[in-house]
Structure 1
Amino acid sequence: MVEIFKTNVEKPNQARILINLIQLTFNGYAATFDLEDCDKVLRIKSADCEICAKSVIRVIRQSGFQAEILEDENQTTTLYSTKLSSLFQ
């Protein structure tokens, strides 16, 4: 399972602190940041459990930062196209 978040984290030391906090708080989560991306992406992977996005967002906000789920545009378009095509069958 992978969940991707848009954040307002700017500095590498902030990212390191949040990565450590997430990995200590959520057993089995592996977190990485891409601060070069315009969305300051936080990517969380878990091999053995579903990722609780609401809890991750809460931890990040309690640390003074913003986070929201970054929707996959291709997945949304595919889902919409599938639903739309099923109307015409």
Structure 2
Amino acid sequence: MIEVFKTNVQEVGQSVMIVEKLLEHFPNSSINFDLEDCDKILRIHSSHICNNSIIELVNSYGFHCEVLP
């Protein structure tokens, strides 16, 4: 399954750090950012995705994160 989130991550360094942290919690996932998109998209492909856990983790680093409908 693939889940797409809107974030306010602006810089590549920030996105790399968040991807690394997310992979610690979801090691068998494919995770990437599209910082060129106006919604600063975070895309996660995994067999099991817990939206609340992902949002809470991104928020814990000071960034906004919400599921795109």
TM-score (norm 1): 0.75
Which structure ranks higher in relative contact order (CA pairs < 8 Å, sequence separation ≥ 6)?
Answer: 2
Q: Which residue of 2 aligns with 1:56?
A: 54
Gaps of 5+ in 1: 72-89
Runs of 4+ in 1 over 6 A off after TM superposition: none
Which residue of structure 1 lines up, in the alignment, with residue 36 of structure 2? 36
Q: Does 1:18 align with 2:13?
A: no
TM-score when scaled to structure 2? Answer: 0.95
Are 1:9 and 2:9 counterparts?
yes
1:42-68 deviation line (CA, Å, top 9, x unaligned): 00001xx22101100000000110000
Partner AA of 2:9 in structure 1: V
Identity %: 42
Q: Which has the larger radius of gyration?
A: 1
